[in-house]
């Protein structure tokens, strides 16, 4: 007969994002046949009893367990890869998965420096024997294609200079594009694509601020229903808002699987920025579990920022 505290610990081991491997080893690996029979009776999170009194795992539970065990492995692999290779592989995977995953491509194209993005494009050549631009132009069939190709092709000026007259003019252009959305989608507007894909981030932040002044509403609010266009603006103009939104969704009790996967990607790829912005590790203390939790917390440790890659 399994001890009640063992049953509680076993149920708890599967209650967060990731799994508590140490508890599983200490309890399950050292259990005999009768103990395991008791576990099946007492672990309602894992086993269901059918009409014949047989305790079995539902196929969906097996699938979810595989995903939870994979989290630690995925975090380690992403951390070990050269950043250029990591981004190239993330772009290729998102492209293959289709429209719902284009936000990953936007995130990489808009949050990396010009040299980092160029490095990812070089890695893509080596890994997949095509340019990322070519694959996007070939595989993306929707209205997102022009914007995505333009974003990954960018090599933005990264200096501080901003032309205020151009800023005001381009804020007006974006405002008009959104006002005329019933005639033409903003994501298909050539001027909108040009502004978002070529201007420096300081310039775009100034455009964003001026837009807020002339419209009494933020640009991201006006783009609420515009999918990757909103993601693009957030990543370029207010990346801290974008990453907070992604992490909050993934760490939510009701977060779907893609949102949970995004937690690993964002923390591994943006850990330095998250620490700089004061992202609090205690937000994940009661949600992540096991080696996955230890690894993610270690990645966010401030000391890690001082170690060479």
The larger pLDDT score, comparing residue 3 to residue 179, is at 179
Instruction: Tell me the per-residue pLDDT of 217-260, one tens digit each, with 9 for 90 and over.
Output: 999 999 988 899 999 999 999 999 999 999 999 988 778 899 99
Q: Concatenate the DSSP letters of all residues of 93-147 into one string.
A: HHHHH-GGGHHHHHHHHHHS-HHHHHHHHHHHHHHHSS-HHHHHHHH--STTHHH
pLDDT band at 280 (very low <50, low <70, confident <90, very high): low
- How far is 292 from 246, CA to CA, in rounded Å? 18
Q: What confidence score (pLDDT) does residue 302 get?
A: 54
Average pLDDT over residues 180-197: 94
Contact, 36 vs 30, CB < 8 A? Answer: no
Binding-site residue ranges = 14, 16, 18, 68, 255
Q: Computed from CA positions of residues 130, 133, 138, 144, in that sequence, does the dihedral angle turn out positive or negative?
A: positive
| Planar angle of CA 257, 254, 39, nearest 5 degrees | 80
Q: Computed from CA positions of residues 220, 262, 149, 184, in that sequence, does the dihedral angle turn out positive or negative?
A: negative
Distances (CA, A) of 273 to 57, 108, 205, 235, 239: 41, 14, 17, 13, 10
Whether domain 156-237 has CATH 3.30.450.20: no
User: Which of the listed ranges 33-47, 83-97, 267-281 does the model predict with the highest average pLDDT?
Assistant: 83-97
The larger pLDDT score, comparing residue 75 to residue 38, is at 75
- How far is 223 from 229, CA to CA, in rounded Å? 7
82-154 shares its CATH topology with 156-237:
yes
Among 3.40.250.10, 1.20.1250.20, 1.10.10.10, 1.10.220.10, what is the CATH number of 82-154? 1.10.220.10
Q: What confidence score (pLDDT) does residue 125 get?
A: 97
| Planar angle of CA 76, 80, 85, nearest 5 degrees | 120
pLDDT surpasses 80 at 55 = no
Average pLDDT over residues 276-305: 79
Other beta carbons within 10 Å of 213: 9
Contact, 147 vs 187, CB < 8 A? Answer: yes
pLDDT surpasses 70 at 1 = no
Binding-site residue ranges for Ca(2+) = 14, 16, 18, 68, 255
pTM attached to this predicted model = 0.88
Give me the residue spans of the domains in the chain: 4-57, 82-154, 156-237, 251-259+266-304
pLDDT band at 277 (very low <50, low <70, confident <90, very high): confident
Secondary structure element (H or E) that encloses residue 184, with its range: none
Contact, 124 vs 91, CB < 8 A? Answer: yes
Q: Is 48 helix (H, G, I), strand (E, B) or coil?
A: strand
Question: Parallel, antiparallel, or unpaired for β 48-49 and 55-56?
Answer: antiparallel
Contact, 186 vs 223, CB < 8 A? Answer: yes
Task: List the structure tokens of 39.
Answer: 């576990």
């Amino acid at each position: 007969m399994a001890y009640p505290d063992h049953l509680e610990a076993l149920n708890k081991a599967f209650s967060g994002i990731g799994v508590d491997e140490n508890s599983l080893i200490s309890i399950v690996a050292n259990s005999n046949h009768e103990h395991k029979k008791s576990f099946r009776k007492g672990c309602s999170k894992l086993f269901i009893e059918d009409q014949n009194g047989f305790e079995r795992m539902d196929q969906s539970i097996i699938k979810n367990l595989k995903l939870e065990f994979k989290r630690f492995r995925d975090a380690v692999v992403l951390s070990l890869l050269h950043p250029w290779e990591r981004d190239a592989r993330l772009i290729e995977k998102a492209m293959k998965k289709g429209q719902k995953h284009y936000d990953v491509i936007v995130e990489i194209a808009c949050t990396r420096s010009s040299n980092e993005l160029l490095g990812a494009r070089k890695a893509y050549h080596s890994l997949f024997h095509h340019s990322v631009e070519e694959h996007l132009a070939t595989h993306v069939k929707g209205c997102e294609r022009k914007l995505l190709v333009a974003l990954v092709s960018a090599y933005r000026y990264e200096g501080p200079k901003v032309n205020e007259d151009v800023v005001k003019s381009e804020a007006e252009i974006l405002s008009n594009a959104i006002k005329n959305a019933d005639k033409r989608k903003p994501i298909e507007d050539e001027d909108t694509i040009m502004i978002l894909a070529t201007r420096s981030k300081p310039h775009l932040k100034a455009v964003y601020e001026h837009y807020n002044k002339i419209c009494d509403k933020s640009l991201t609010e006006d783009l609420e229903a515009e999918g990757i266009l909103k993601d693009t603006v957030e990543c370029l103009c207010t990346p801290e808002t974008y990453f907070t939104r992604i992490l909050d969704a993934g760490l939510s009790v009701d977060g779907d699987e893609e949102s949970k996967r995004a937690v690993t990607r964002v923390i591994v790829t943006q850990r330095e920025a998250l620490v700089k912005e004061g992202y609090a590790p205690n937000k994940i203390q009661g949600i992540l579990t096991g080696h996955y939790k230890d690894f993610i917390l270690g990645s966010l440790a401030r000391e890690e920022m001082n170690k060479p890659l």
